[in-house]
Structure 1
Amino acid sequence: MRVRPPIPGTLRVRRFLAWVTAVLCAAVLVPAVARADNPIVQHIYTADPVNWWQFGGAGGGNLIANGDGESGTAGWGVMGAGTLSSNAAVAHGGAASLSVTGRTASWNGPSQDVTSKLANGRSYTTTLWVRSQGGTPTVKATLALTADGTTSYVSLTPGTAVNPDGWTRLTGTATVSWSGALSGATFYVETASGTDGFSVDDVSLQ
């Protein structure tokens, strides 16, 4: 008995009917899946809001480049007068620290531009280790903000006395905010008074 092959037109009809059936099933199922009382969808609706500034360039990791001083003075400068150098003789961690000498004012010290790294209204935690080269100066980290032509100062850490016999940890948390367009933001380390030289290591702002 010979089996006659299917008529081409019949195959096209069957395929069309299958396609129509699939479309109708999708139309019925999708609304049911997407209903707000669906547990999965409901979880998405009620998820906690995300603060997106916590991600990307304005947050997360350390905003200070070469904070450990292992790349010499790269990324650093001096606020005002003074000479900044890599110091392999003393280090809190790694092989070197950063030392500043020749200061002529208390506000002179290691500095770094962080203008493009800050988010307005965010709180930042600062940590650094400091060691004096002589004496017991009170050292602190400060942020200078310039917006719309006006400069303001944010104390990032409390002033803490340091000494030449060991490393002292400075840490603090502060909210950084400004009004208008930010044109400059400089992180720097200074003393409350005097011009004693000092060294810094393992600096972080995050």
Structure 2
Amino acid sequence: MSKVCEYYFAPQSPWSYFGHARLIELAKRYEVQIDMKPIDLSQLYNAAGGLPLAKRPPQRQAYRLVELRRWSEHLGVPLNPQPKFPPLSGDAAAKLIIAAKLTHGTDAALALTGQIMQAFWTADCNIMDSATLIALANEAGYDGAALSKASETAAVQKTYEQFTSEAIAANVFGVPWYVVDGEPFWGQDRLEFVEAAFKK
């Protein structure tokens, strides 16, 4: 039986974006199953004492931009650290991703997640806009309108709330967050340790 990696993330998080493709590659290499769980960051921060970006002190916001540029260059992953649309909410994108997972499976949802993240962080796409999300799903080869409709169902909303509740119960306080064999890892800069856990 293969290992499972619980993957808590938010589609509007640049750090989730930086780690997303690398996690998928590692999981494939070591035949690890990814249990993807997009979560509501606002609820997580309320529970864990975190602050949304706009409410953080200026010096922390400034250093965040330095780190985003640094990691973008280090990883060779393009990213606009100050996108046209501020990453205020990932709810609509998260629920579209959940709908894709429920309808087409995890691999399809992971691929769509990567496309949504890239569109937001490199092409100034507004992932809070339903028409934009429909277009991105269409580009990925799915029926965007059908997925969008599914994302508004009670079942998807319940799943989104469940994932968020699970994150809070597991003492998650930031994203991306990975759990392997009960061991937590916070941040895309911990993927080296995640890989070591995959090897065990």
Q: Which bin holds the TM-score, normalised by the shorter protein?
A: under 0.3
- Work out which of the two has the higher radius of gyration on C-alpha atoms and give 1 or 2: 1
TM-score (norm 1): 0.20
* Higher normalized strand content (fraction of residues): 1
* Higher normalized helix content (fraction of residues): 2
Question: RCO greater where, 1 or 2, for CA within 8 Å and sep 6 or more?
Answer: 2
TM-score (norm 2): 0.21
